[in-house]
């Protein structure tokens, strides 16, 4: 019998880790027995796709699944669905588990443990928030519950309130509009999408209103009202916004209840601490990855909690390689992200102005307006690029893009520049591609870098 | 009176240099008198846009013009149109010029000289190539002549033969099809678009045939036949392809007749030699930029001739800053380029396989097929990414992309990685953006890098 590996959490990080561990072990001539526990009904799915399922762009949950439990089983992973890990004794090397269908409990021994417990939607501590009709949207099970609620007959919901204007919030608000609901989005920030600076977030605000969404900013939620077992409204800033369904888009926090109870170290962000190999420091044989861990931000050189599928997948791959006997490291992140509101594309990488200030980085900001294609070429769309560069060195610190089709993926060009510590002076002269159907002769990325460079040189 | 600057050539490089020189001089408190000579009828235009003008996507030549002669004059540049420089005496500091309208000649003294004479379409030395109805397509005047020829009445051309399958060749072939002509493309290479490796060029071949173009590969042109003052056909590989109009798409060579006659140094590529400040070595006060110069390829560390608008603009800017009293350097190129054939997008950066072999760089090649968006997201399109990485170090050497909408601009991500000397190992872990409307959770760039990394690590 091989080394026993228990994986807690059957989504991207956990299952990628499990698969990669088996691959690495085979290569290294090691023998692993891998058991994976998943309390939900699905494995290895795209949580980022849930809003598009709600919107109807994606027909079924099955389409969001990269690999189902049986596929994992065929590859040698003992996947146990609807099974929740209820406790961990790290020193003894045991996990207690509960079958959520039967209530049966069991105890699993492990030589190595992978924690990939994910994240949970943030619920503000206000009256009624745990009442009926208030939905988080983090797992496929959450998505299924929301879709069920929206299809309620008779008397399906007509009015939705979305609380919070981050990625999930704006994506779900759009999904609701497309399902024909009348939607109010309540956000405590001055502009939605606080992953951008407010001047860029203002475009998101306009796009949401352009879809007919009632956007209420600078307003915190005070409570949720319900009656007769149904949600009736959201109280915010002294006003009650009528609601037949409420969705929380306030972001998520790492799910670390088990880890904390087991005495495993948590960082300041609330996420589990891990080293570059995704090992939990001080606990040999214990690993963690995905939305439950914190990640090192290479630009601010601080630990952050950025729950994204990209990181979960990469971390899972690194973790698995190491656990199976190989060697790999996770190099950290630069907080790159992209999203879409109606036909407005939004992207960011690196630091926002507020982040740079917090980190004590003196900087200049350049904002340019350009087009996605040569101005004379059919289909050219507006694009605005904002870059932050460090005073003195000219080092790129961050960038944000808002625009229409073909705008936002340019953030990757900036992300790689940032990753490599390029200055805006150097970036302005990089050999980027050009042809009239793809960009002006000076790509907007170059124009923005050149403007920042000029500002720095006076 | 200020220092006299004579600029030869009024397109991107020359006029950007002139404008930037004036800006820099003002900043440095210097006084420049700038005269610009342009033998054609337009200044500062997008030569890359000409095929789209021919196709009808762009309604008029005016739309391709960034700044016309009067705008330049208002900014203080003495632009002389339809005026050809006929000789240069570098030691005496004089340029002889001829007014092409009146035939009047003049002599201009200069303190500083800018050569931005551009490039000329390559004409193979075969019988009839200089006959009627054989068009190069490098300047707006060339474009105007071709459009005139296509609109000939009565009896407009119905059959076009395009000689050469590079960027201009395939773009013009498509333009002709869209104007309703029946088109044959003759290329001596095994696959069109030799800026790509043949395995990627094969997709271009298919796309051209998909538009109804008759693609004849591995076939050199032997001659052009004409009768009664009109072109009749192109002879290639023993066959005569009937033609009412012929367009050359064999690329261009640097236009250096004047420079060579003046004893200025040319490199092995036939382009003028320049240093990092765009000064001509050994000739103080003489500068050059754009399609007439050679550029340093940072990857192969050799001088190359890559006549693209992006380089012309950057080099013009650098040249102008230096000439005007500032300091700037052109950092070289990595041979990034992008194009479109029908709805097929094509891009490359860095070295092709043949380039790597020529440079003695041992390498591995990874090719991956993916989608531009999450597979389940509406509108996901196929994308193929090929990367070359150096054996041992894993250093990225080059990349190529073919795909449908939203595919090709990803080349910029690879170009910046290449620019910074990243290895595919590191590139595979970079924090690129992800959301279902924009990419799979592993962006195709990461997938390609990861595959190359795995190949290298065995």
User: CB-based contact (8 Å) between B151 and chain A?
Assistant: no
Contact A377 B58 (CB under 8 A): yes
Contact B430 A416 (CB under 8 A): yes
Note whether A126 and A223 are within 8 A (CB): yes
* pLDDT score of B98: 98
A342 given a catalytic annotation:
no
């399922």: which residue's tokens?
A53
* pLDDT score of A300: 94
- Angle, alpha carbons B277-B282-B283 (nearest 5°): 80
Length of chain A measured in residues: 458
B94: buried, middle or exposed (CB in 10 Å: 19+, 13-18, 0-12)?
Answer: middle
Mean pLDDT by 10 residues, chain B (458 residues): 94 97 96 97 94 95 95 97 98 98 98 97 94 94 96 94 96 96 98 96 96 97 96 97 97 97 98 98 98 97 96 98 97 97 96 95 97 96 98 98 96 98 98 97 98 94
Interface test with A, best of B45, B297, B412, B421 (most A CBs within 10 A): B412
Residue-wise pLDDT tens digits, B127-171: 999 999 999 999 999 999 999 999 999 999 999 999 999 999 999
User: Is cis: bond before B154, omega within 30 of 0?
Assistant: yes
Residue-wise pLDDT tens digits, B419-452: 999 999 999 999 999 999 999 999 999 999 999 9
| Closest Cβ opposite residue B331 in set A12, A167, A429 | A429
Burial A352-391 (b: 16+ CB within 10 A, else e): bbebbeeeebebbbbebebbbbbebbeebeebbbbbbbbe
Cβ pairs bridging A and B (under 8 Å): 193
Question: Distance between CA B34 and CA B23 in Å, rounded?
Answer: 12
Bridge partners for A333 per DSSP:
A297
| Closest Cβ opposite residue B431 in set A309, A310, A318 | A310
> In this structure, what are the phi and psi dihedrals at residue B92, rounded to the nearest 5 degrees?
-80, -15
Q: Residue B177: helix, strand or coil by DSSP?
A: helix
Question: Distance between CA A182 and CA A161 in Å, rounded?
Answer: 9
């995905």: which residue's tokens?
A290
| Closest Cβ opposite residue B430 in set A49, A167, A419 | A419
pLDDT tops 90 at residue A1: no
Measure in Å the smallest separation between the Cα of A178 and chain B Cα atoms.
15
* pLDDT score of B458: 78
Contact A339 B435 (CB under 8 A): yes
Q: What is the mean pLDDT of residues A10-36?
A: 97
For residue B336, which residues of chain A lie inside 8 Å, CB to CB?
431-433
């992953």: which residue's tokens?
A195
Contact A57 B378 (CB under 8 A): yes
Question: Distance between CA B73 and CA B83 in Å, rounded?
Answer: 15
* pLDDT score of A379: 95
Q: What is the largest CA-CA distance in chain B?
A: 71
Q: Considering the entire predicted model, what is its pTM?
A: 0.97
For residue A409, which residues of chain B lie inside 8 Å, CB to CB?
406, 409-410, 433, 438-439
What is the phi-psi region of residue A397: left when phi exceeds 0, alpha when psi lies from -120 to 50, beta otherwise?
alpha
Q: Which residues contact A118 (CB under 8 A, 6 or more apart)?
A: A9, A11, A13, A138, A139, A254, A255, A290, A291, A292, A307
Residue-wise pLDDT tens digits, A306-348: 999 999 999 999 999 999 999 999 999 999 999 999 999 999 9
* pLDDT score of B385: 98
Q: How are beta strands B94-99 and A77-81 bridged, if at all? A: unpaired
Question: Distance between CA B318 and CA B20 in Å, rounded?
Answer: 8
Contact A434 B309 (CB under 8 A): yes
Question: Distance between CA A444 and CA A442 in Å, rounded?
Answer: 6
| Closest Cβ opposite residue B433 in set A12, A46, A412 | A412
Residue-wise pLDDT tens digits, A349-366: 999 999 999 999 999 999
What is the phi-psi region of residue A163: left when phi exceeds 0, alpha when psi lies from -120 to 50, beta otherwise?
beta
pLDDT band at residue A142 using 50, 70 and 90 as cut-offs = very high
């009709």: which residue's tokens?
A133
B246: buried, middle or exposed (CB in 10 Å: 19+, 13-18, 0-12)?
Answer: buried
* pLDDT score of A139: 93
Tell me if ipTM is over 0.95.
yes
Q: Which residues between 326 and 355 in chain A have a beta carbon less than 8 angstroms from any beta carbon of chain B?
A: 330-340, 345, 347, 349
Note whether B14 and B58 are within 8 A (CB): no
User: CB-based contact (8 Å) between A251 and chain B?
Assistant: no
| Residue closest to B264 by CA, chosen among B289, B252, B281, B285 | B281
pLDDT band at residue A458 using 50, 70 and 90 as cut-offs = confident
Question: Distance between CA A381 and CA A365 in Å, rounded?
Answer: 23
Contact B412 A433 (CB under 8 A): yes
| Residue closest to B251 by CA, chosen among B214, B302, B306 | B306
Question: Distance between CA B258 and CA B260 in Å, rounded?
Answer: 5
Residue-wise pLDDT tens digits, A98-118: 999 999 999 999 999 999 999
Contact B376 A49 (CB under 8 A): yes
Contact B438 A335 (CB under 8 A): no
Q: What is the mean pLDDT of residues A370-394?
A: 97
For residue B334, which residues of chain A lie inside 8 Å, CB to CB?
431
| Residue closest to A219 by CA, chosen among A243, A247, A241 | A241
Q: Which residues between 379 and 438 in chain A have a beta carbon less than 8 angstroms from any beta carbon of chain B?
A: 406, 408-413, 415-417, 419-420, 422, 426, 429-438
| Residue closest to B385 by CA, chosen among B367, B372, B412 | B367
Q: Which residues between 58 and 117 in chain B have a beta carbon less than 8 angstroms from any beta carbon of chain A?
A: 58, 63-64
Question: Distance between CA B192 and CA B262 in Å, rounded?
Answer: 37
Provide DSSP, A7-72. EE--SHHHHHHHHHHHHHHHHHT--EEEEEEESSS-SSB-GGGHHHHHHTSS--GGGGBSS-HHHH
Structure tokens at B302: 């050799």
Question: Distance between CA B325 and CA B327 in Å, rounded?
Answer: 7
Q: Residue A343: helix, strand or coil by DSSP?
A: coil
pLDDT band at residue A380 using 50, 70 and 90 as cut-offs = very high
Question: Distance between CA B95 and CA B4 in Å, rounded?
Answer: 12
* pLDDT score of A158: 97
């Amino acid at each position: 019998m091989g080394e026993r590996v228990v994986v807690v959490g059957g989504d991207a990080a956990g299952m990628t880790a499990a698969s990669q561990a088996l691959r690495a072990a085979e290569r290294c001539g090691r023998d692993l027995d891998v058991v994976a526990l998943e309390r939900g009904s699905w494995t290895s799915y795209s949580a980022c796709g849930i809003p598009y399922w709600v919107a109807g762009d994606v027909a079924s949950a099955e389409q969001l699944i990269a690999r189902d439990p049986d596929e994992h089983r065929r590859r040698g992973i003992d996947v146990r669905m609807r099974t929740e890990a209820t406790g961990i004794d790290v020193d003894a090397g045991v996990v207690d588990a509960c079958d959520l269908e039967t209530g049966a409990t069991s105890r699993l021994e492990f030589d190595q443990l992978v924690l990939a417990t994910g994240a949970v939607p943030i619920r503000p501590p206000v009256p009624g928030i745990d009442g009926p009709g208030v939905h988080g949207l983090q797992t496929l099970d959450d998505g299924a519950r929301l879709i069920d609620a929206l299809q309620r007959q008779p008397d399906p919901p007509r009015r939705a309130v979305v609380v919070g204007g981050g990625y999930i919030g704006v994506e779900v608000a759009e999904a609701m509009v497309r399902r024909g609901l009348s939607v109010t989005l309540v956000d405590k920030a001055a502009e939605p999408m606080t992953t951008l600076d407010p001047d860029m977030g203002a475009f998101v605000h306009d796009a949401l209103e352009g879809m007919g969404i009632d956007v209420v900013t600078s307003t915190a939620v005070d409570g949720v009202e319900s009656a007769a077992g149904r949600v009736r409204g959201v109280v915010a800033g002294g006003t009650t916004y009528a609601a037949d369904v409420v969705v929380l888009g306030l972001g998520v926090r790492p799910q670390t209840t088990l880890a904390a109870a087991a005495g495993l170290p948590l960082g300041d962000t609330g996420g589990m601490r891990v080293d570059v190999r995704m090992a939990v420091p001080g606990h040999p044989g214990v690993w963690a990855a995905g939305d439950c861990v914190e990640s090192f931000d290479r630009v601010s050189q601080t630990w952050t909690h950025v729950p994204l599928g990209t990181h979960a997948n990469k971390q899972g791959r690194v973790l698995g390689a190491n656990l199976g006997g190989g060697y790999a490291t996770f190099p950290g992140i630069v907080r790159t992200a992209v999203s879409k509101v109606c036909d407005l594309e939004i992207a960011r990488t690196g630091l926002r102005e507020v982040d740079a200030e917090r980190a004590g980085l003196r900087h200049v900001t350049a904002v340019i307006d350009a087009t996605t294609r040569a101005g004379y070429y059919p289909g050219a769309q507006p694009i605005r690029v904002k870059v932050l560069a460090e005073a003195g060195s000219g080092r790129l610190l961050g960038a944000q893009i808002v625009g229409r089709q073909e705008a936002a993926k340019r953030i990757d060009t900036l992300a790689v520049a940032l990753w490599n510590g390029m200055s805006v002076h150097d970036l302005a002269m990089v050999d980027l591609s050009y042809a009239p159907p793809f960009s002006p002769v000076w790509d907007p990325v170059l124009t923005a870098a050149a403007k920042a460079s000029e500002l720095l040189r006076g």
